[in-house]
Structure 1
Amino acid sequence: MSNLDPKPVTTLCGGDASAGPVRELMTGRSVRLGESTQVRRLLPNLPRRMVGAWCFVDHYGPDDIADEPGMQVPPHPHLGLQTVSWLHDGEVLHRDSLGSLATVRPRELGLMTSGRAISHSEESPRDHARLLHGAQLWVALPDAHRHTAPTFEHHADLPEISATGLHGTVILGSMDGATSPGRTFTPLVGVDLTLTEGTPAALPLEPDFEYAVLAMAGGVDVDGVRVEPGSILYLGCGRRQLPLLARTDSSLLLLGGEPFGEEILMWWNFVGRSDEEIRQAREEWTNGRRFGEVHGYDGARLAAPEVPQLPLKARGRVR
């Protein structure tokens, strides 16, 4: 998925990862994506820019698109990151410059590793379900792997965890002995959780990871804090378990990972390390080089916005 902001701000990705548990509730800002999809942008956020290597989180829906085109995101470039497509309702048709063509459905993983360069499009199929509800996430690649060859993975069957009143799907990483087949480049985890009303639960956590919880639907108390749909609760590090209590039938995403120690900068759809790298990537996309071509999308590709006049600077986690 793309950042379609025509004047994207320079995002200095970082922020201090707490040495101990915290409870930092954040709401998203509304951003229009394509022709008819409105999203809530939760990361990067003013108080918190990253959670482990997770550096971008959009939550959208549930939207009634029965009489709408739904998601329509034209071909656009990426570098230095992975995109994670995750749905609760609807379908997204993925095309990319590798020639990949896949329809991602609810609780299936669409994982694209941009590496040194890739381009892709995302759209609701012509004949689509009535509702569209999901999240789009990015993972920053560490310096040692950010120039790797681009790939696309589609995993329809993912490992699951369960307990009384709780069901989980492991999107990336490992949880309670279940490990996703999706490739990762830093220690991290992503788990989709559903809880029935009245369910108390305690999730096992890694104390060296920092975590956040995104509420997708319903109402759930996370370590005593009510988290409503479209908000995210940052939890810090140092936890071995996380108490949950479902006030209604609820669904949420648990995101975590080792604090990302490298200095990076994020501009438009690029995660880089220097002003020169970002400007070169923009120039190459504008002039049809490096990022390949997406075939089959009915429409023009996205034009890159102008890079700010002032030099872009990478920053670390501590502001």
Structure 2
Amino acid sequence: MRGGLDSLDAVRTIATIAGSQRPKRARRVARFVRPPFLREGDSVGLVAISSKTDSARMKHYLAAVDTVRSWGLRVRLAAHLFDRSGGWFASADSVRAQELQQMLENPHLRAVLFFRGGYGAVRVLDRIDLGAVLRDPKWLVGFSDLTTVHYALHKAGIESIHGTMPSNFRTGPAERDTSALWLREALFGRVGGYVSAPHPFNRPGEAQGRLSGGNLSVVSAMNGMPEDNDFSEPTILLIEDVGESIHHIDRMLRTLLRSGRLERIAGLVVGDFTHIRGEKQWGSSVYELISEYAGTLDIPVLFGFPAGHGRLNAALYMGREVRLTVSEEGGELRFL
């Protein structure tokens, strides 16, 4: 372990070589832009383009901001970050898009952390010029609804970080936030991969490809959009979800299968599927359902990976080429 991360039987990080700020790129991802890793004293922006924040949690939110500062970073908050004037959203689509664009174009910011998920990121896509990130690369960080942004960055050829967000930080005095620590390590370039424990639904094998995916509901909704990924190049697909009915999960997996996308992936990483409804009526668990689909694919499949809305949420470099290895001893996801 590095950086004081929790020692967990289920999963552990693979640390990069000490002092290695720019790992060697694999050949197939040479055209992808990799933003510079952060250093102490760098500035980061916090912005919300999805659901609005909860006024009852302001103490928690401010503590989360202080957590980011404790990493040795300067923090700039979007002007309307904690507004609640936009109905479901913090503010109007145009305002949220403008605040994100300003951060993308700010030469002093080295990363942009999305404050929370929910819904709304897709509504600002058409108003954002990601060319600013190509001209001045910086890390964009988030998960869940922000899968939309990861897809857009993937299409533009820019790496990003799928990881926890400040609204999800554990800020209690007795709480240790491993997910936030993983995010810190990833931002500073100190995560080389993850090793996970054996799982009864794992399917052994080894594959290499570019890491893509995220929240399954968003992955499914991206079907046909300009930012969609058809997995025509070697891809390791990550999926996770929360609060869905199991028949909705089946519908989304069936869509990926019938569209030809699922059978084109080189490997599958199954994250957390939490608070799934209807499993009793369906007659099986959501993981059994996913295993049925995985059984039709001749690829390595890793279950039990800590990504998504569970207690642990690993920080992952999306768009990076990875090697997925699954065996009786468990699984390894290594960044190349």
Higher strand share: 1
Structure 2 length-normalised TM: 0.27
Higher helix share: 2
